[in-house]
Amino acid sequence: MTEQTRFDLPQSAIPTAWYNALPDLPEPLAPPLHPGTREPVGPDDLAPLFPMALIEQEMTGAPWIDVPGEVLDILRLWRPTPLVRARRLEQALGTPARIYYKDESVSPAGSHKPNTAVPQAYYNKLDGTKRLTTETGAGQWGSSLAFACAQFDLECKVYMVRASYEQKPYRRMLMETWGSTVVPSPIDDPSHPGSLGAAISDAVRDAVGREDTHYSLGSVLNHVLLHQTMIGIEAKEQLAKAGESHPDVVIGSCGGGSNLGGIALPFMTDSRVRLLAIEPSSCPTLTEGKFDYDFGDVAGMTPLMNMYTLGHDFVPPSIHAGGLRYHGDSPVISLLVHAGRMEAAAYPQSKTFDAAVQFARSEGKIPAPETGHAIRGVIDEALRCKEEGRDEVLLFNYSGHGFLDLSAYDDYNKGRLLDA
Ligand SMILES: *Cc1c(COP(=O)(O)O)cnc(C)c1O
């Protein structure tokens, strides 16, 4: 095969502004509500948790937001990321579809998450914050924030879901190597396996209790999706280089909605493009949740957000795609699904590993279990194209690599992987 499979942008072509989807949404976003009064929250309510620049980004109607030079200098360590045409997967499937993926696994932490960790650490540093707290499930977000805090000389304390803390030591080691402190959550109950919602409560409680400390969230919020739009902005330019006018379908796995939002939002106003979210059927927020106000955490300390939710006390079964085990979802993604602009599908774990392994055997790369969900969606779309004889362009986000998830592949290879 002599045909080109990689479409790179020079370092000088890194996007210098983020795309803000808020003014282009099909309906206005319902405001977050104060957990005590149930009145809309204002900037001052959020000030104990976030620096004002991020609070402004959370609410602004400006269509584009400039990326600070200090942030670009760090993102350039790995951005722009490659756009890859998965020709060998196309061949393996015998599909006329053209499959492209944006490879976000090339970042220092191995996923898309540093795209927002870096600007969040930057705006906190600028604001005089000395210390950040956060939660992490399997450790993808915690390690991304640990990397970013090291760049800006900020202290970082990570509350890690206890089950992962005990069973998945490698990302804890990454965080500690980048200089962060990691503790198992919930801190007040050593017998509890923990959950993302409970770890958020621990991290928020710590941040509001200290003057020098802010809190940082790796997904769900508007400013997080904003920072991730770099992915889609670059992809648009790279698809043009590949000779494609537009993708027919854009696909991403959906936990809190940030990698999906990052690749999909820049295509949102193009009505030719279908947008597709893939989630686990054991945590089917978009496909079976209720569109309603709910808390972001278990203890009910965060503002209420209007989103698809399974209930803030929902504890999803333990699956290997830890990053997709969240009871709620980004309000922006939820609204797009509710308004019919985005579709959603759910798959059981075994089907996503079938897809991840097929990808690994054809394209070579071993995806994160979360990314395996997107690949499942892509393969099914490619098979539909084969059945219908359509040469559609499918674009998906390769949100991370699976090198620290090999025990999950071992379970799959040995026939021990169960569907919850
Ligand atoms: C965290 C994570 C996800 C899910 O989070 P989103 O905010 O929905 O993107 C997906 N893929 C990888 C590799 C992750 O680390």
pLDDT in tens, 327-372: 999 999 999 999 999 999 999 999 999 999 999 999 999 999 999 9
The token pair at 232 is 């889609």
Per the prediction, the chain carries an average pLDDT of 96
The token pair at 377 is 């969606």
pLDDT at position 190: 94
Give the Cβ contact number of residue 127 at 10 Å: 14
Query: In this model, does residue 268 exceed pLDDT 90?
Result: yes
Atom of ligand 1 nearest to the CA of 261: 9
pLDDT at position 20: 98
pLDDT at position 231: 99
Is the CB of 255 inside a 6 Å radius of any atom of ligand 1? Answer: yes
SS3 97: coil
2 confidence band (pLDDT: 50, 70, 90): low
Q: What is the mean pLDDT of residues 208-230?
A: 97
SS3 360: helix
Atom of ligand 1 nearest to the CA of 259: 9
Nearest CA to ligand 1 atom 2: 323
Domains located in the chain, CATH noted: 6-12+69-111+223-413 (3.40.50.1100)
Query: In this model, does residue 386 exceed pLDDT 80?
Result: yes
Nearest CA to ligand 1 atom 1: 323
pLDDT at position 320: 87
- CA distances from residue 100 to 1, 93, 108, 254 in whole angstroms, order as listed: 16, 14, 22, 18
Query: In this model, does residue 1 exceed pLDDT 60?
Result: no
Q: Report the amino acid identity of residue 360.
A: A
Q: What is the mean pLDDT of residues 191-200?
A: 88
Distance 143 CA to ligand 1 centre (A): 13
Atom of ligand 1 nearest to the CA of 253: 10
Please list the helix, strand and coil fractions of the chain in percent, rounded to the nearest 5, in that order: 40, 20, 40
Q: What is the mean pLDDT of residues 237-259?
A: 98
pTM (predicted TM-score): 0.97
Q: What is the mean pLDDT of residues 94-122?
A: 98
pLDDT at position 420: 64
Question: Do 141 and 170 form a contact (C-beta atoms < 8 A)?
Answer: no
**CA neighbor of 225 nearest in space, from 273, 168, 275:** 275
Residues in the chain: 420
The token pair at 20 is 């803000």
Atom of ligand 1 nearest to the CA of 255: 8
Q: What is the mean pLDDT of residues 236-261?
A: 98
Q: What are phi and psi of 97, to 5 degrees?
A: -70, 150
> Candidates 104, 113, 141, 228: which one to mutate for ligand 1, based on the most atoms within 8 Å of Cβ?
113
Question: Do 134 and 145 form a contact (C-beta atoms < 8 A)?
Answer: yes
299 confidence band (pLDDT: 50, 70, 90): confident
